């Protein structure tokens, strides 16, 4: 593999302005241009893509609001738990169960 010279007396031409600079004082930009130290610019953050972040979907350890009252769930034609003004009795039907003993 070959080695490069140190460039103690070397000069370079800026890719942006065409001005001659000492090669040691030149810097390479993010787009590959070799420019003088006073012409160098950082890459703008707007050119970077945004990182995708996951949207939160659920709460950890959720608790029902105790001041909101009771929550009634409708199952078929019935409401469970039954509201107190309906007598407070739950009625449910499972179906027909047949037990065969041998």
| 29 in Cβ contact with 15 (< 8 Å) | no
Digit-coded pLDDT (tens) for 5-40:
777 889 999 999 999 999 999 999 999 999 999 999
Q: Which two tokens stand for residue 39?
A: 């012409």
3-state secondary structure of 11: strand
14 vs 96: CA distance, rounded Å = 91
- Whole-number pLDDT of residue 82: 54
Please state the pTM of the whole predicted model. 0.44
Instruction: Tell me which DSSP letter residue 23 carries.
Output: G
Collect all residues with Cβ–Cβ distance below 8 Å to 26 and sequence separation of at least 6.
12, 14, 34, 35, 36, 37
Q: Which two tokens stand for residue 81?
A: 């738990």
Q: Which two tokens stand for residue 63?
A: 């608790």
């Amino acid at each position: 593999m070959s080695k490069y010279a140190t460039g103690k007396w070397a000069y370079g031409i800026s890719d942006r302005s065409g001005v001659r600079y000492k090669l040691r004082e030149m810097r390479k930009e993010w787009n590959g241009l070799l420019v003088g130290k006073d012409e160098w610019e950082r890459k703008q953050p707007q050119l970077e893509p945004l990182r995708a972040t996951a949207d939160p979907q659920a709460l950890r350890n959720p608790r029902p609001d105790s001041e909101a009252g009771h929550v009634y769930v409708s199952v078929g034609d019935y409401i469970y738990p039954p509201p107190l003004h309906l007598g407070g009795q739950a009625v449910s039907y499972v179906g027909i169960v047949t037990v065969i003993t041998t």
